[in-house]
Structure 1
Amino acid sequence: MAIAPEEEHPQKAIGWAARDQSGILSPFRFSRRATGDQDVTFKVLYCGICHTDLHSAKNEWGNSIYPLVPGHEIAGIVTEVGSKVQKFKPGDKVGVGCLVGSCRSCDNCRNDLENYCPKMILTYSSTYYDGTITYGGYSDIMVVDEQFVIQIPESIPLDYAAPLLCAGITVYSPMKYFGLDKPGIHVGVNGLGGLGHIAVKFAKAFGTKVTVISTSLNKKDEAIGRLGADSFLVSRDPDQMQAAIGTMDGIIDTVSAFHALSPLISLLKTNGKLVMVGVPDKPLELEIFPLIVGRKMVGGSAIGSLKETQEMIDFAAKHGVKPEIEVIPIDYVNTAMERLLKSAVRYRFVIDIGNTLKAE
């Protein structure tokens, strides 16, 4: 693999990286490229922790490149722009999500679907155009082509903006594409974690009726009282599930653990849609007959394009949609990963990079 010469990467950077499949993160020194003509360089102030970061740090999907600096929910302030940059200037509030590059020539790229480009370049643990490895937002600076940078509205604090750049767009995009954004329709949200809680907030902002589906009653008061859901359904309660059969226009399934799909499909009306955004670690069983007799569908969705991500964050600013966050220092990150594994966070960790990531 070709590695760009050091003079092309003169910007010294610090971050936290995993070195092996233990997933343990520790301080790491590296360098970023010089600010190119079309690049935006920004100081990272906050970075959300996504479940993908945990999977990647431990190489659970088998494609991690070490050393690995995670982080694709990145928010900060522009410090420098290239001579040909048109959309940004120093001092702007900006963010970067899951992508920092794509081929820009395939059908997906030409139709504002870079997130489905077969040659997309991920924000970390991916190979950039120059042959170098991409490093994510658990670091002090980022250098990103302006086409992959999001303008963050002034009304959204950067710590709240960060999780929107992955968790937010991951649920917003399928709601828009599959027509689950229409006022008055009934949307189910399966799972109330980092994705699920923000799905509830977007669904309510769209004007839909929202039911949270969960395996236990523990989160009912929070789902309805704090997040604004209209109702709560315990999936392990056969009486509740029976009463809800055929009542939902669509379900956003955020659960990443193995679970049964048939009970969820039974909740859908005719023409209903079950949309998968969680990633279980083993295949799920799918019965075809209930799909046929109800003209129902099971689909999937992955993040969103740059255009749609900008649309999402502008919508969030207009409607006051903000994630529930717990801000942590960088040296707490390994403990945060352990808690994330146990779902012991309400509902998204955000690392205070600006105040706690210091050169050793």
Structure 2
Amino acid sequence: MPLLRSWSSSRRSIYIDPQSNNNSHLQQLNTNFINHILFPYFLSNTTTISMTSSLESEHPIKAYGYAARDTSGVLSPLTFFRRATGEKDVRFKVLYCGICHSDSVFAKNEWGITKYPVIPGHEIVGVVTEVGSKVEKFKVGDKVGVGCLVGSCRSCQNCAVDYEQYCPKQIFTYGVPDADGTQTHGGYSDHMVTDEHFVLRWPANLPLDSGAPLLCAGITTYSPLRYFGLDKPGTKVGVVGLGGLGHVAVKMAKAFGAEVTVFSTSVAKKQEAIEGLKADHFINSKDPEQMQAAMGTLDGIIDTVSGNHPIAPLLNALTAHGKLILVGIPEKPIEVAAFSLIMGRKLIAGSNTGGLKETQEMLDFAAKHGITSDIELISIDYVNTAMERMLKSDVRYRFVIDVANSLKTE
């Protein structure tokens, strides 16, 4: 089933239907929002985009990666060029990179905005090889990470309070124009060069390979637990879906001391949830009796599911003042009866990754509590098969590419 991504500012959301063969629905949306919130450089700065290829040809540092070249999404080796190390830049050798659903969606141009070739990857861990003259936080040999962002305006209201993920001029790690007009390329490559503000210090006791997915899946679940007050011992937290995001959400909530209930349509996952992930309860969300028994029992729910699913039963499971937080990406907008919110002062909210300060906090928390993602480590030449398997949910729970040991360079 095609994925849909909901890109959100702190107040507004936009939905793009990947199944549509035209963009007429976009004309009904707020043009200023599209141009200034969603891919502000990509959609509005056509001059910058037209200059990309010429600017990239001036970059001096040869790099290698796996890129998609058309809507098939098939990835293959590509030689390209990265910029020289600037005074505030950190250059690092990529060791590992996780595979996220967004990588596949972008590679196949399911949002209708991909500029080819594109090198995906935003769960990146590596070792520093060079730093600029004004870099203060890192030195050669340090282990570092880069997540979903490599730039923002650094001056807006959101950036001022460490919410770079909601900056109107945020720069994603791959597939959009960078500040200098060239296209960003992600971690399916041999090395990266990134402004030090968007580079994360890697905790010494956090594994590099199984820790890599935390840079997306980890912060996407940690952030709403913290922001919405579901990080207190004894809090009763539900997690909907036991996939790449869901299994990390369970681990995060348990580390906060929460009593965790897993909702899943797959009864086969009960043992895994209870015995493997140490969840306290498991509910088959297809069983009306089990859902009825859960009514009014949870302080908050983290909903990680991307497929279309009913929201009303989840709202029923909340206590008064309970919170349903969406971090998944349903294909269609949700429908909610106002009565189900009013009777209990319940809240439906959304959350999108986290800022740099909070992401560093999350990594340190994960290291302290021994939280990693359950992964299958692969070589980069297996990436197309891994993408196909991921879309079939045939992975427990995240693919991670062993970039350093499998990407062949000249």
Give the TM-score normalised by the residue count of structure 1: 0.98
**Residue 222 of structure 2 aligns with which residue?**
172
- Identify which of 239, 252, 262 aligns with 2:289: 239
Matched residue type, 2:257: G
Contact 1:70 1:135 in 2 (8 A): yes
- Identify which of 30, 43, 51 aligns with 1:2: 51
Give unmatched runs, 5+ long, in structure 1.
none
**Residue 74 of structure 2 aligns with which residue?**
24
1:249 aligns with 2:299: yes
- Identify which of 91, 104, 115 aligns with 1:54: 104
1:202 aligns with 2:252: yes
Superposition RMSD in Å: 1.0
Matched residue type, 1:238: P
Residues 238-281 of structure 1: CA deviation (Å, up to 9, x unaligned): 11001110000000000000111001110000000000001112
1:95 aligns with 2:145: yes
- Identify which of 84, 89, 110 aligns with 1:34: 84
Contact 2:92 2:127 in 1 (8 A): yes
Q: Distance in 1 between matches of 2:194 and 2:301?
A: 35
Q: Distance in 2 between matches of 1:97 and 1:286?
A: 33
Residues 327-347 of structure 1: CA deviation (Å, up to 9, x unaligned): 000011000000111011000
1:292 aligns with 2:342: yes
Offset, 1:65: 1.7
Matched residue type, 1:159: D
Q: Distance in 2 between matches of 1:216 and 1:7?
A: 50
Contact 2:55 2:181 in 1 (8 A): no
**Residue 311 of structure 1 aligns with which residue?**
361
Offset, 1:359: 2.1
1:113 aligns with 2:163: yes
Residues 18-73 of structure 1: CA deviation (Å, up to 9, x unaligned): 11111111111101000000000000000000011111111112222211100000
**Residue 203 of structure 2 aligns with which residue?**
153
Contact 2:56 2:182 in 1 (8 A): no
Contact 1:171 1:303 in 2 (8 A): yes
The percentage of counterpart residues that share the same residue type is 67
Offset, 1:322: 1.0
Residues 50-107 of structure 1: CA deviation (Å, up to 9, x unaligned): 0111111111122222111000000000000000000000000000000000011110
Q: Distance in 1 between matches of 2:57 and 2:88?
A: 18
**Residue 187 of structure 2 aligns with which residue?**
137
1:346 aligns with 2:409: no
Offset, 1:2: 2.4
Residues 282-312 of structure 1: CA deviation (Å, up to 9, x unaligned): 2222221110011001000000000000000
**Residue 277 of structure 2 aligns with which residue?**
227
SS at the partner of 1:203? Answer: helix
Contact 2:121 2:186 in 1 (8 A): yes
Give the TM-score normalised by the residue count of structure 2: 0.87
Contact 1:2 1:130 in 2 (8 A): no
**Residue 328 of structure 1 aligns with which residue?**
378
Contact 1:47 1:137 in 2 (8 A): yes
SS at the partner of 1:291? Answer: helix
Give unmatched runs, 5+ long, in structure 2.
1-49
Q: Distance in 2 between matches of 1:63 and 1:182?
A: 40
CA distance 1:311–1:61, shift in 2 (3 Å): same
Q: Distance in 1 between matches of 2:186 and 2:109?
A: 16
SS at the partner of 2:193? Answer: strand
Matched residue type, 1:38: K
